[in-house]
Amino acid sequence: MTQAFSRAGSAFLLIATLAVCGPAGGQSSKDNTNKALDLITLEQLEGHVRFLGSDALLGRDAAEAGYGIAAQYVAERLGSMGVEAAGSDGWFQSVPLRRYGIARGSADFVIHRGGESTPLVYRDDYSMSADPVRESSEARAEVVYVGHGVHAPAQGYSDYDGVDVRGKIIAVFRGAYYSSSRTKSLEAVKRGAIGSISLRTRKSEARQTWASRKDRIGRRPSTTWINGDGRAARYYPELLVGAAISIAAAERLFGVSPMSYEEALEANLAGKAASTPLGVEVSLSARSTHSTTSSPNVIGVVRGTDPELANEYVVYSAHLDHVGVSTSEEDEDKIRNGVYDNAIGVALMLETARAIAAAPPKRSVMFIALTAEESGLLGSDFFVNNPTVPMASIVANINLDMPLFLYPVADLVAFGSQHSSMQDIAEKSAADEGFVFSPDPMPEEVLFVRSDQYSFVQKGVPAVYLVTGFNSTDESVDGEALYRDHLKNHYHQPSDDIARPIDWESALRFARAHTRIGLAIGNDEDRPTWNEGDFFGERFGRGSRDEP
């Protein structure tokens, strides 16, 4: 408490000094950086978290009133720090959201084999993808099995060798490392497929049985962004229909010839491409219900000091939305406050903005509080597809999502930093605040592709996603156990609220390290680069085959 008080006092004096001298007032830039970092205080951080995580905001569900108040709060705070509004409408960039689902009783899936037609049963046998744009969808076509639907000529592998899927419906296994459903859909569209049927492996069935999820099929609408010309996130209008089927239904779809489902599973396990037409036709149809709403990203900018480099941007991002109010009978407390997910990330970003506004680097620095992350990275995906500054002028993304301060933290992890020149910067920034720099402790979770930084990566922008590691400075603490307990028992639950332990001192040092990363990139002569031969750089970076 006393330490916090003296920090607040010195911060006040600093603001006065900076206002008189200006950030370049003859002192070394190192002094300026330190003074700017000292503007970040524990009580400011805690104040943001208490407000954004309060019951009054009802879990900040995108497009709900609580989120709107949170967005207003972020804009107000940024404005008070001297950050300029940089949305498309003042501070805001409205993201048009479409909710869409399958109209009740409209789904239809029939297998046609040798003059015989066998209908499948909705929910028992299959789920159907609703269409975010079209009100009704239908297609009848032959089915071609294409394994994982992967085309990787560089690895000497293709599931598409020797099969023609033009005008056909593909049957494809979900998953495969580094092979997002986006990449697969793009490949299918490029080859002229008109629909897809998603297959389950024994492994996916073991993780979650069809029986345990079938009653929830089609009960809740999906959400995507949609713009005026009917473009929607991850939407491929060429794919007229889409469904997922149970293993029992897949056995019926495959039959025995030319290949049984069992044989497909075996080839799949052996990593062999075994693509083949199944000698069967299917007809799929459904009607979709639509409703449209919107929710804003909040965007501010601190202008760079170098006349040239000010036209380039370091972009900080943190999602502001969370999952709203629980409808579960079991939850006594129904408000999912999202204190860690991601009130704390936004709070840290706000304090970073405060420091950076006081000591602007050569490049401009943009701050984006993102909407609809919880519905599938929609706010960030909308931003990178409808950027308010040219995408090519964005040199780096630094994202925050759910850093945990459950114990005095000893180490930081920067997901994604190993792919680019940002590794050294992140490591030094962590060390400057007394943190050890650790490698990804949970590579199996592939977290780098699971939060908003991935939207930037897909447009070729090098990114880091900074989180805390498993190690505590208190040796009696089992950090990993506490971390995993949070993921298992509190993540997306009403208990992710202000009653969770928060080591504010660690949060403060984290905010400082996080700020140092942006300042270092902002002042560097060169913009960050993907490492030579890096997977993400090759795929998405400048000059790559997927470059937009």
Which residues form the interface with Zn ion (CB under 5 A)? 341
Q: For residues 449 and 233, what is the distance between their CA atoms, to the nearest angstrom?
A: 16
CA-wise closest residue to 110 among 280, 327, 334: 280
Residue 375 or 472: which CB sits closer to Zn ion?
Answer: 375
For residue 535, the tally of other CB atoms under 10 A from its CB is: 11
The one-letter amino acid at 376: G
**Phi-psi domain of 533 (left: phi exceeds 0; alpha: psi -120 through 50; beta: other):** left
Residue 341 or 411: which CB sits closer to Zn ion?
Answer: 341
Residue 64 or 341: which CB sits closer to Zn ion?
Answer: 341
Contact 181, 212 (CB under 8 A): no
Looking at residue 60, the DSSP 8-state letter turns out to be G
Give residue number: closest CB to Zn ion.
Answer: 341
**Minimum distance from residue 540 beta carbon to Zn ion (Å):** 24
Q: For residues 52 and 185, what is the distance between their CA atoms, to the nearest angstrom?
A: 37
What b-and-e string marks burial along 242-253, b requiring 16 or more CB atoms within 10 Å of the CB?
A: bbbbbbebbebb
Beta bridge partners, 394, equal 313
Residue 97 or 359: which CB sits closer to Zn ion?
Answer: 97
Q: For residues 320 and 67, what is the distance between their CA atoms, to the nearest angstrom?
A: 8
Residue 46 or 341: which CB sits closer to Zn ion?
Answer: 341
Contact 335, 58 (CB under 8 A): yes
Beta strands in 162-270 (DSSP E): 169-173, 195-199, 222-225, 241-245
Q: For residues 155 and 165, what is the distance between their CA atoms, to the nearest angstrom?
A: 22
Name the phi and psi angles at 402, rounded to 5. Answer: 60, 50
Q: For residues 382 and 390, what is the distance between their CA atoms, to the nearest angstrom?
A: 14
**Minimum distance from residue 492 beta carbon to Zn ion (Å):** 6
Residue 341 or 524: which CB sits closer to Zn ion?
Answer: 341
Contact 407, 501 (CB under 8 A): yes
Rg of the chain over Cα atoms, rounded to whole angstroms, equals 25
CA-wise closest residue to 460 among 376, 535, 389: 535
Residue 185 or 375: which CB sits closer to Zn ion?
Answer: 375
Residue 61 or 341: which CB sits closer to Zn ion?
Answer: 341
**Minimum distance from residue 374 beta carbon to Zn ion (Å):** 5
Residue 33 or 375: which CB sits closer to Zn ion?
Answer: 375
Q: Strand, helix or coil at 339?
A: helix
Q: For residues 370 and 383, what is the distance between their CA atoms, to the nearest angstrom?
A: 9
Residue 125 or 401: which CB sits closer to Zn ion?
Answer: 401
Q: For residues 223 and 100, what is the distance between their CA atoms, to the nearest angstrom?
A: 6
**Minimum distance from residue 102 beta carbon to Zn ion (Å):** 25
CA-wise closest residue to 272 among 443, 402, 148: 148
**Minimum distance from residue 409 beta carbon to Zn ion (Å):** 20
Residue 46 or 61: which CB sits closer to Zn ion?
Answer: 61
Question: How far from chain centre, in Å, is Cα 278?
Answer: 36
Residue 244 or 320: which CB sits closer to Zn ion?
Answer: 320
CA angle 50, 345, 360 (to 5 degrees): 110
**Minimum distance from residue 318 beta carbon to Zn ion (Å):** 12
CA dihedral 288, 384, 179, 107 (to 10 degrees): 0
For residue 167, the tally of other CB atoms under 10 A from its CB is: 12
**Minimum distance from residue 319 beta carbon to Zn ion (Å):** 8
**Minimum distance from residue 320 beta carbon to Zn ion (Å):** 11
